Chain A
Amino acid sequence: MELSLGNIQFFWSKQDVFDFYDQAKSSLADTVYLGESVCSKRRELRLEDWLSIAKELKQHGKKVVLSSMALLEAKSELAVLKKVCNNGELIVEANDFGAVDLLSSQNLSFVAGAALNIYNQHDLKYLYNKGMSRWVMPVELSKDWLSNIHHELTQMDLVNKFEIEVYGYGYLPLAYAARCFTARSEDRQKDDCALCCINYPQGLEVDSQEGDKLFRINGIQTLSGKPQNLINDLPSMENLVDIVRISPSSKESLAWLTLFQQNVSGHAPISLDGYCNGYWHKIEGMASVS
């Protein structure tokens, strides 16, 4: 089983991003995802910056994937997506079927990201034939769902034709909207957001009136209120999952790569206080099953 470091979903300063990947070079991640997937107004780093980070990571033995935007509305966003897809160096994680179309029409292989609605073996076969080399499972699906898919893929002789990746650690991307919730929390309109989400490098908590951590808002994105943590579920992923993703929310997230590595066989479990793992267990995502 390999480990990946997901792209940063939050908005960090250029310096913080460079510092983060400087540390990531020596982490246990086999694959590192780079790039912006949430908001096209976040331009601390340009494509060239991401490519230069990629170059360094590759020199340290990392495989690198360029993530692309999940919600594309404006023509200008589509133009940026085209540049990302045509970067010429890195394989792209498609988070919208628009990206799949742009990549497959050029016979470029791609990673099908978790923001794509792919729910069964027929969808996977269709996308495999379009050039999908890896599938990141939608975060709301369970081990049971994946096992059913795996069973069907076996019948279709499609097992091991592409890799399967699962979100192992981090705040789960749950929804994308036209509205910017971070701007709204500061009584700003999206067009006048002043890029205020850079002030919330881990997003903003949305709590119930009883103090339950429900969600975390990050621009137009809504994440889970608690980070998901499947560290103790790693043994149940054997023969089902090829890659487990750590989705970073700070530099400290890199330590989870080590902890996950240590518990692949279940020898170093961790207390799950404050985390959730319900989706993997086929119940509400916010729940925690020990």
Chain B
Amino acid sequence: MELLAPAGSLAALKAAIDEGANAVYLGFKNDTNARHFAGLNFSDRQLDQGVNYAHQRKAHVHVALNTFAHPNRSQVWFDAVKKAHDIGADVLIASNISVLDYAATHFPDLELHLSVQASATNAAAINFFKPFGIKRVVLPRVLSYQQVANLKQDTDLDLEVFAYGSLCIMAEGRCYLSSYMTGESPNTVGACSPAKFVRWEETDQGLESRLNHVLIDRFTDDEKVGYPTLCKGRFNVDGKLSHALEEPTSLNTMGLLPKLHDLGICSLKIEGRQRSPAYTRQVTRVWRQAIDSVMRNPSGFKEEQSWQQQLIMLSEGSQTTLGAYERNWQ
């Protein structure tokens, strides 16, 4: 079972590998990358250094090319495929038909993983993408544990699941809430609720967070303040003010680890390329210990209290959830 850690920067990549990640995933500094944020990602020189650092330590590098090629600039995406190949990446993670097709045709030796952004949630959808020579599917965070287990039986491809990190509540790749409010979405620009649209205002009613002028939330002095990701705001539905879509919370599947291991899930992905190298270091350390423990003794796995405490501290809103894995959440 692979531990796959986020590398939003060279420092994060080194931290992840030092703490025992089997592989890291990263992206380029442009809109081919669904984490296209200012100050993140790798220059060409950093890419070389990163790949060398990983390979010297027998870790793999996955390049995420997980947005959708624009019609007038599709060559940018194809060039990015070539670049992933040329820097010696072990894996390309892609979601767009045109990108998968280009990679399969031009670089048949480059291992392909189907990105979560492709939104493949069932065996038939996976079959659609099979002709590109996909080796692994990254499952969207909308499936219950039982559905993941069923899918494992119904496909011969390897399955990777999200283990920990920020929780997208919508089927990935099929959410336009961000572009509805800002004009920019994960699919087209590589960003959700982009920072350049965020405003904070101290008012008599409390601290207000806005996204493109829309009030997302309002916090009193004793409340924990969160980034205005638009699906995690407090809104009115039927006269009731609540986190109508989702609370600020992080996904944490530690409680499911033995079951995911038994199921034969090949890789556990940690979300968080937009987080600091310190976050990557701490989360990777905890999950390395947990995975080592479950691999040593799957039936006797016990979650250590200190792991839980550390993960809670790193979580959004200091709370975690099993998300859609648990049907009660749905």
Chain A residues with a Cβ under 8 A of chain B: 70-75, 77-78, 81, 96-102, 115, 117-123, 126-127, 138-141, 145, 148-149, 151-152, 172, 174-181, 184-185, 189-191, 204-212, 214-215, 217, 222, 224, 278-279, 282-286
Contacts and interface: CB of A to CB of B under 8 A. Distances in A.
A206 B244 contact: yes
B278 interface: no
Contact of A98 (B98, B102, B125): B125
- Pairs of residues from A and B, 10 with the lowest C-beta to C-beta distance, nearest first: A98-B124, A122-B98, A178-B324, A119-B68, A178-B142, A101-B128, A98-B125, A285-B180, A97-B128, A148-B71
Interface string B117-150: 1111111110111000000000001111001001
Nearest to B239: A207
A72 B171 CA distance: 10
B18 interface: no
A117 B173 CA distance: 7
B122 A72 contact: yes
Contact of B128 (A100, A175, A222, A283): A100
10 contacts: A73-B142, A100-B128, A117-B119, A122-B97, A145-B71, A180-B330, A185-B237, A211-B236, A224-B180, A285-B181
A271 B2 CA distance: 57
Nearest to B150: A75
B97 A118 contact: yes
Contacts of A98: 120, 122-125, 127-128
B175 A175 contact: yes
Given A121-B71, A151-B72, A172-B180, 5 more contacts: A101-B127, A118-B97, A178-B144, A179-B324, A185-B240
B176 A208 contact: no
A81 B121 CA distance: 14
Contact of A71 (B102, B121, B123, B240): B121
A179 B238 contact: no
Contacts, number: 226
Given A126-B98, A179-B330, A190-B327, A72 B215 contact: no
A233 B51 CA distance: 50
Contacts of A181: 244-245
Contacts of A74: 147, 150
Interface string B9-38: 000000000000000000000000000000
Given A73-B144, A224-B180, A284-B182, A148 B237 contact: no
Interface centre among B117, B150, B238 (most CB of A within 10 A): B238
Nearest to A139: B176
A224 B330 CA distance: 21
Contacts of A102: 124
A8 to B, nearest CB: 20
B212 interface: yes
B148 to A, nearest CB: 10
A280 to B, nearest CB: 12
Contacts of A278: 183
Nearest to A200: B238
Contacts of B212: 284
Interface in B192-219: 212, 214-216, 218
Contacts of A185: 237-238, 240, 244
A81 B74 contact: no
Nearest to B230: A214
Contacts of B173: 117
B220 to A, nearest CB: 13
A236 B75 CA distance: 28
Interface in B316-330: 323-324, 327-330
Contact of B143 (A73, A126, A279): A73
Contacts of A152: 71-72
B234 interface: yes
Given A120-B71, A207-B235, A208-B215, A140 B324 contact: no
Contact of A175 (B74, B176, B328): B176
A208 B118 CA distance: 31
A135 to B, nearest CB: 13
Nearest to B67: A119
B177 A222 contact: yes
